[in-house]
A and B are shown apart, each in its own frame.
Chain A
């Protein structure tokens, strides 16, 4: 089994019309990377407890950030899509979102994915996150998590995913030249690169 995770089928509404990067709603600036005016926008709907999401993150994220996001070609938005069947994925999403607000989003995403098997067994998301943050940062993160304000943002991402008819994670929605290309599943960096290069070569 490749570990991709699916949501129960729901009566999802029709997907929205293609949109420009600037008009994509509910973008948490702490969970978005690169330039808003980049020619391609990628929204990645992901669940921290989903093995395929881990594979996608570990195999593509670094290269994507270095070669496309940092160079202004791609605007990358991480969307939370915690699946109800995963006991700890919403907790992990809260911690990741809180860490993003204190400027440690990438480090926390990385440690959560890299230690996925451990914390999904023992439920120790807090301890996993604490291993890459300073005591002061961790205190801020815990305060944000306990504050209970993060769920609203997570729910907005989830609702947006349902509008795109996301039925499994990871699902990546590409936006380019006013058109929308949804793709579900893992992709290797080489294959992703070829698709991005084609999108970028559009006149």
Chain B
């Protein structure tokens, strides 16, 4: 008989990470494509506006700025959806962690250099402040915990799919 999955702190953190990060990634991608405007501006306008924000970090050369600005919003939405669906969770969790680390490095660098730019996180004119640094830092921590726990949990037999193994392991 199938037994219910026991409460497990790691699984709880995986779920919280999936829900929070998926929500943020999907919203961030969507916001970059719509700029929070009604009616929505043409896609080309939204992407080139986001390109201005990517360029303001002064990290990437112009060509790279173009490719990042034109792919990141879609990648964020896709990563958020895959994270939510949970299929191949370890892959998407790892990618989300890497993207979050890249964002965090960019934000910390800009803050440390005293660059008074907009974050560009949600395509709104939100100044990059110490709050942004802490927020991104917390999200990086959550993404890393989610990823590490996803790998750890994947090694264990799941009580739904392999109840006998799970029980014997529990003993």
Contact = CB atoms under 8 A, between A and B. Distances in A.
Q: Do A and B come from one complex?
A: yes
Interface of A: 1-2, 4-6, 165, 167-168, 176, 179, 181-188, 190-192, 194-195, 197-199, 201-202
16 contacts: A1-B113, A6-B116, A168-B116, A181-B41, A183-B49, A185-B52, A185-B118, A187-B56, A188-B62, A190-B62, A191-B52, A194-B48, A195-B48, A195-B52, A198-B45, A199-B45
A186 B44 CA distance: 21
B65 interface: yes
A188 B125 contact: no
B125 A4 contact: no
Contacts of A197: 48
Given A192-B52, A197-B48, 9 more contacts: A1-B114, A2-B58, A2-B116, A5-B116, A188-B62, A191-B55, A194-B66, A195-B48, A198-B48
Interface of B: 35, 37, 41-42, 44-45, 47-49, 51-53, 55-56, 58, 62, 65-66, 113-118, 125, 127
A185 B113 CA distance: 14
A201 B45 CA distance: 9
A168 B114 CA distance: 12
A183 B115 contact: no
Nearest to A1: B114
Central interface residue in B114, B117, B125, by most chain A CB within 10 Å: B125
Contacts of B44: 198, 201
A64 B66 CA distance: 20
Contact of B62 (A168, A182, A191, A195): A191
A199 B35 CA distance: 14
Contact of A1 (B52, B65, B115, B118): B115
Contacts of A183: 49, 52-53, 118, 125
Given A184-B127, A185-B118, A191-B62, A202 B42 contact: yes
Leading 5 A-B pairs by shortest Cβ distance: A1-B114, A185-B56, A195-B48, A4-B116, A198-B44
A191 B65 contact: yes
